[in-house]
Amino acid sequence: MTDKPKIGFIGVGLMGHGMGKNLLENGYPLTVLAHRRRERIEDLKQRGAREAATLPETVDGADIIITCLPSIESIHGVLGGEQGVVALARPGSTVIDCSTSDPDFTVKLGETAAERGVKLLDAPLLRGPQQAWDGTMQIIVGGEKAVADACWPVFEAMADRIVYAGALGSAHAYKLLNNAIAQCNGAIISEVFTVAAQRGLDLELFYEIISKTGASSMRLSDSGPRILKGDHSTAFAVDTALKDLQLYTKMAEATGALHIAGDAARDLLRLASGMGHGEDHTTAVTAALAKLSGAKLPGSKG
């Protein structure tokens, strides 16, 4: 037997798989909700997780419920409503939403949770699936400090850097700002590689040049080699990035601030999604642009 809290986990996707693995390796009793990607569920079951067939079964008896969801629809559907996590969680338990979500929705959900005696933290993730697997990702935590402190060992089991952001909803706001920068950077990288290809330039030489200048970035280091190989295998899907940019522009608009760059990046992602690349990696924006312009890019049919 263990005195560690029992955890129910909803969302064993690209990030959630590694998170679940690390929780199990750190001795946390884990129940995971059934997922369409069976190989991830089976792997966690072999490591000691219990699979639940339904949401109520996942939540039942859990001290902590972690959600890591890809879309606004799934976030609202799983967390909210009379059959959602907050409604089903027992009083005294803690819900940790690791999705990238709407800060305003999170604050309202926190009010509902408090009325039911349930504690809520927003704890979005930074870095990617490999870091989630290695336990080297970053987690930003928002909510009551005492609740965050009580859950700190759980966060430490999954990440090597945890930052307390302040009041509930603040972590989601910081995450949207971070992702807006990353996706705007990714959008212009995809665009300029397409322009370079259309111009007939040597793309490998182009990457070598800009990787040693002020144009260099972590995003370029990831996207450049992918574009050169025509490799758009998913680590961060176009549709997920589109959701994040839609939330960012909504948040910016609510403050009265302009969001011109965010709109442009959002529209490029929307274009790629509409052309069938929604489940591909965000660099698939280049494939969409190449098809429209006739540019010859690796892996493209332009």
| pLDDT tens readout for residues 13-22 | 999 999 999 9
Hey, where are the domains in the chain? 7-167, 173-293
Helix (H, G, I), strand (E, B) or coil at 77: helix
User: What integer is the mean pLDDT of 162-175?
Assistant: 98
pLDDT tens for each residue of 136-154: 999 999 999 999 999 999 9
Q: Please give the C-alpha separations between residue 272 and each of 27, 227, 242, in angstroms, as whole numbers.
A: 42, 15, 10
Is residue 33 within 8 A of residue 6, CB to CB? The reply is no
pLDDT tens for each residue of 193-243: 999 999 999 999 999 999 999 999 999 999 999 999 999 998 899 999 999
CB atoms < 10 A from the CB of 170, how many? 19
Q: What is the pLDDT of residue 302?
A: 43
Question: If you classify domain 173-293 with CATH, what class do you get?
Answer: mainly alpha
Among the four given CATH numbers 3.40.190.10, 3.30.70.940, 3.40.50.720, 1.10.1530.10, the one describing domain 7-167? 3.40.50.720
Q: Rounded CA gap, 277 and 102, in Å?
A: 24
Predicted structure pTM score = 0.94
